[in-house]
Structure 1
Amino acid sequence: MSEPCDVLIEARWVVPVEPAGVVLDAHAVAIRGGRIVDILPIAAARAAWAPAERVELPDHALIPGLVNAHTHNPMTLMRGLADDLPLMRWLQEHIWPAEARVIGPEFVRDGVELAIAEMLRGGTTCCNENYFFPDVQAATYARYGFRALVGLPVIEFPSAWARTRDEYFDKALAAHDAIRALPLVGTAFAPHAPYTVSDASFERIRVLSDQLDIPVHLHLHETAQEVADGKREHGVRPFARVKALGLVNERLIAVHMTQLTEQEIADCAAAGVSVVHCAESNLKLASGFSPAEAMRRAGINVVIGTDGCASNNDLDMFGEMRSAALLAKAVADDATAFDAAAALRAATLGGAGALGWAEQIGSIERGKQADLVAVRFDEVEMQPVYNVVSQLVYAAGRHQVSDVWIAGRRKLRRRELVDMDTGEIIAKAQRWRDRIAAV
């Protein structure tokens, strides 16, 4: 007697990510109550399960949803605003002034909506968010059933979100309490960077992170200038300062990390730090080259993020996987570095681990939530197929994502967003463009 399930997805290949490099030929994934209940050959699945919905994907690879481990998603509305500039000029002369003019709840809501639509169409089902108005972000992610870890911002200067240090912390704690009740959404502390956050704030974040058991999401060692300025102002490199303040631990999600010594790499590995490699943003802002393979070989959980659309200029995790893998090879001077299986793992299970969600998502395993992505392999650009995992990393593009599920619920069906009004999202983006450009 076959057993009922909600959805049975039958695919040409299932790429579970765990174990690494494994590809299951002609397999099916059964989903019930938003979770994966079985993974087995298609013929056996048809005998074992009686699905309410059967999805046949005869020319597709089914992979875990991609995890974008570092984003500033409201900044999709600033895509292309100030290109071809170094980091500090980009921030101080263009991005921060523009934000001061327009940032508010509506800007954040509309930017997140645009980002969700882009991410879903590119196979991303989860992001690690770092921006202001976390309450608005969280409500928007929850409204569309998108999985997100939302940052609770801390910075030493006034913003539209908070005016004083105490207000940042008061609002962070209030937002954390409210967000805990939302499905698919969690929180992390998001101090901006060592050059914009004081020792007193970092100490307070460490205590609260320990008490609440939530991660700390921090830009760190992004540029050589940051390191030099940190040494001049504090007498030590920023990493040493953050370490002395007790933040170098298994909860730290350190973003960029282009300037590292061997000892700093060893310290990160020993402490269980996760490092987010944002290859394309680092290249575009000339921030430096992260030693991704050296960190990976040391045992660090190296994961992948796009950064925000103002510095990338997209949320394309397929492109980011490829760039991360290729750049890692060049930096390591080793063609075997950061191989395809490692890149795919960094963009899925590794990212889930950084966010503290590896028990729930990041791989196709029984008991995990069904965050799944179907990628078409029947196009000219994908032929012939010798190695499915290599093809996903080095040949596939986000336009080949056909279907997406989050917690078992369909979000993209044959390239069409299921519960989002694409026309209205585009119209809102254009209105924001007109407003920002007019100032």
Structure 2
Amino acid sequence: MLDSLTADTIIEARWIIPVEPEKTILSDHAIVINHGVIQAILPISQARSQFISHNHIALNHHAIIPGLINLHTHAAMTLMRGLADDLPLMEWLKYHIWPVETRYVSADFVLDGTLLACAEMLKGGVTCFNDMYFFPEVTAKAVIECGMRAAIGLIVIDFPSAYANDTDDYLFKGLSLRDCYSQHPQLSFCLAPHAPYSVSDKALTKIVTYAEQLDSPVHIHLHETHDEICSSLDTYGVRPIERLRQLGMLGPNLIAVHMVHLTKEEGNLLKEQNCSIAHCPSSNLKLASGIARIAELVALGINVGIGTDSAASNNRLDMFEEMRLAALLAKAQSGQADALSAHQALRLATLNGAIALGIDKITGSLAIGKAADITAVDFSTLALSPCFNPVSHLVYAASREHVSHVWVRGKLLLDDRELVTLNERELINRATQWQRRLNS
């Protein structure tokens, strides 16, 4: 008999749902982890006979899935959750959010807000998020501290802030940060111009140049509202997506956020240019921006991921809610009950996000050689009984409260619903202090 191989961690589960191969559900299987990487996925009986580990975890009533990837958020804005609700986008931004940011946003604000967001996301099964906000170096610090994975947005916007004075200053600081952390295993980076209405042609042209030189994703709000499109027609004579096409921004590196208002021709253009879309259904609904025609875009073969947007406009960083809403809206809008199936919705919340960020060789699915970014969902509760199909349950019945364990790079960050690297009570206290300041 051959000696057993040693592993750092072995996780046994009732179901393992790797996302790829498509529609795969593995019953009574185990994941073997070594040095933060998935070494094997095999039946429990084989895992027990072939491997030995001092960290052997049996999750007999759980579904194991890839860690969820939040493809669009502004993590620090969690400190503004509910600050100015029930308003349309531009009124919300111009008269409430931007004035508060001008007065209060600082490195301390971003650190406390991002740590609060990281805690909320970890408890909801999110292992990676794509961020866009001021003081990205502080966001990176928070991510490293808590052990998550993040794509750090190097924000560019035309107006000065406490973080930077002008376009060149934003770019210099952002690119310097990227150079400093380019090899960090928890971090990747995106160039992040805020939106066509807040960034000039000159700045966008520079961003296109840097994106080509660095092969970097570009993360931008686009076609979010009718007003945005009308304003672009008045100012530039073309719709925003055409303006970006003329500037050379459309391509495989583009992550276009929202994309609510698209013509058929624009959808075909996105497909031709191999762009990705970050779909934010809750935020689109809450700000009355509209309903993106995601079923049609997915059917075209466009890579679509899911994001929450910020807790200031959602008001939850809840990817389970976004998965469910994305699937239900796609069905209602298309008039087809089989539009955006549960398997597709799970893929949007995992692998498609990784593809958009260019990190799909590292994370986004459960496969040998990929990072052990893993979420466990407890199916033993009354609300999830009985279970005929675990993938259907994940999308239509489960909620973030059913997430029990989370690993990133094989490190346990949520243990039986308790945060390991973050102090929940301390984060709530800091949030309360900021609430008092913002109310003063």
Q: 1:18 aligns with which of 17, 20, 27?
A: 20
Contact 2:147 2:421 in 1 (8 A): no
- In structure 2, the gaps of 5 or more residues are none
- In structure 1, the gaps of 5 or more residues are none
**1:289 Cα offset (Å):** 1.1
Tell me the secondary structure at the aligned position of residue 272 of structure 1.
Answer: coil
Q: TM-score scaled to structure 1, two decimals?
A: 0.99
Tell me the secondary structure at the aligned position of residue 404 of structure 1.
Answer: strand
Distance in 1 separating the partners of 2:114 and 2:180: 19
Contact 1:382 1:395 in 2 (8 A): yes
Tell me the secondary structure at the aligned position of residue 432 of structure 1.
Answer: helix
Distance in 2 separating the partners of 1:290 and 1:412: 33
Q: 2:148 aligns with which of 142, 146, 149?
A: 146
Q: 1:367 aligns with which of 347, 366, 369?
A: 369
**1:336 Cα offset (Å):** 1.0
Amino acid at match of 2:30: A
| Equivalent residue number for residue 430 of structure 2 | 428
Amino acid at match of 1:259: H
| Equivalent residue number for residue 412 of structure 2 | 410
| Equivalent residue number for residue 400 of structure 2 | 398
Contact 2:306 2:348 in 1 (8 A): yes
Segments of 4+ in structure 1 off by > 6 A?
none
Amino acid at match of 2:356: A
| Equivalent residue number for residue 259 of structure 2 | 257
**1:181 Cα offset (Å):** 4.0
Q: Does residue 129 in structure 1 map to residue 122 in structure 2?
A: no
Q: 1:244 aligns with which of 239, 243, 246?
A: 246
Q: Does residue 354 in structure 1 map to residue 356 in structure 2?
A: yes
Contact 1:179 1:187 in 2 (8 A): no
Distance in 1 separating the partners of 2:406 and 2:175: 33
CA deviations over 1:156-183 (Å, ceiling 9, x no partner): 1111111122211211221211221433
Q: TM-score scaled to structure 2, two decimals?
A: 0.99
Distance in 1 separating the partners of 2:17 and 2:191: 33
Q: Which stretch shifts more, 178-187 or 137-146?
A: 178-187
Q: Does residue 173 in structure 1 map to residue 178 in structure 2?
A: no
Alignment of 1:90-239 (within 5 A): 90-239=92-241
Distance in 2 separating the partners of 1:160 and 1:409: 35
Distance in 2 separating the partners of 1:181 and 1:433: 36
Distance in 2 separating the partners of 1:63 and 1:173: 34
Contact 1:162 1:168 in 2 (8 A): yes
Contact 1:306 1:317 in 2 (8 A): yes
Number of residue pairs matched by the alignment? 438
| Equivalent residue number for residue 273 of structure 2 | 271
Q: 1:323 aligns with which of 317, 322, 325?
A: 325
| Equivalent residue number for residue 439 of structure 2 | 437
Alignment of 1:74-93 (within 5 A): 74-93=76-95
| Equivalent residue number for residue 307 of structure 2 | 305
Q: Which stretch shifts more, 373-382 or 162-171?
A: 162-171
Amino acid at match of 2:292: S
What's the RMSD between the two structures over aligned residues? 0.7
Tell me the secondary structure at the aligned position of residue 52 of structure 1.
Answer: coil
**1:52 Cα offset (Å):** 2.5
**1:90 Cα offset (Å):** 0.3
**1:334 Cα offset (Å):** 1.3
Contact 2:377 2:405 in 1 (8 A): yes
Tell me the secondary structure at the aligned position of residue 381 of structure 1.
Answer: helix
Contact 1:11 1:57 in 2 (8 A): yes
Distance in 1 separating the partners of 2:180 and 2:155: 15
| Equivalent residue number for residue 296 of structure 1 | 298
Amino acid at match of 1:307: D
CA deviations over 1:13-33 (Å, ceiling 9, x no partner): 000100122110000000001
Distance in 2 separating the partners of 1:181 and 1:44: 36
Distance in 1 separating the partners of 2:168 and 2:131: 22
Distance in 2 separating the partners of 1:13 and 1:201: 48
Distance in 1 separating the partners of 2:427 and 2:435: 12
CA deviations over 1:275-329 (Å, ceiling 9, x no partner): 0110000000000110101100101001100000000001000011001111111
Contact 1:276 1:305 in 2 (8 A): yes
Amino acid at match of 1:292: I
Report the identity percentage.
50
Distance in 2 separating the partners of 1:357 and 1:164: 30
Contact 1:142 1:182 in 2 (8 A): no
Distance in 2 separating the partners of 1:178 and 1:349: 27
Distance in 2 separating the partners of 1:165 and 1:389: 45
CA deviations over 1:342-371 (Å, ceiling 9, x no partner): 000000001111111111101111000000
Amino acid at match of 1:417: L
Distance in 2 separating the partners of 1:149 and 1:139: 12
Q: Which stretch shifts more, 199-208 or 172-181?
A: 172-181
Distance in 2 separating the partners of 1:143 and 1:416: 17
Distance in 2 separating the partners of 1:255 and 1:169: 20
CA deviations over 1:28-56 (Å, ceiling 9, x no partner): 00000100000000001000101121000
Alignment of 1:43-82 (within 5 A): 43-82=45-84
Distance in 2 separating the partners of 1:186 and 1:164: 24
Contact 1:279 1:324 in 2 (8 A): yes
CA deviations over 1:359-403 (Å, ceiling 9, x no partner): 110111100000001101011100111111000000001000000
Distance in 1 separating the partners of 2:168 and 2:27: 56
Distance in 1 separating the partners of 2:430 and 2:29: 41
Tell me the secondary structure at the aligned position of residue 77 of structure 2.
Answer: helix
Contact 1:7 1:51 in 2 (8 A): yes
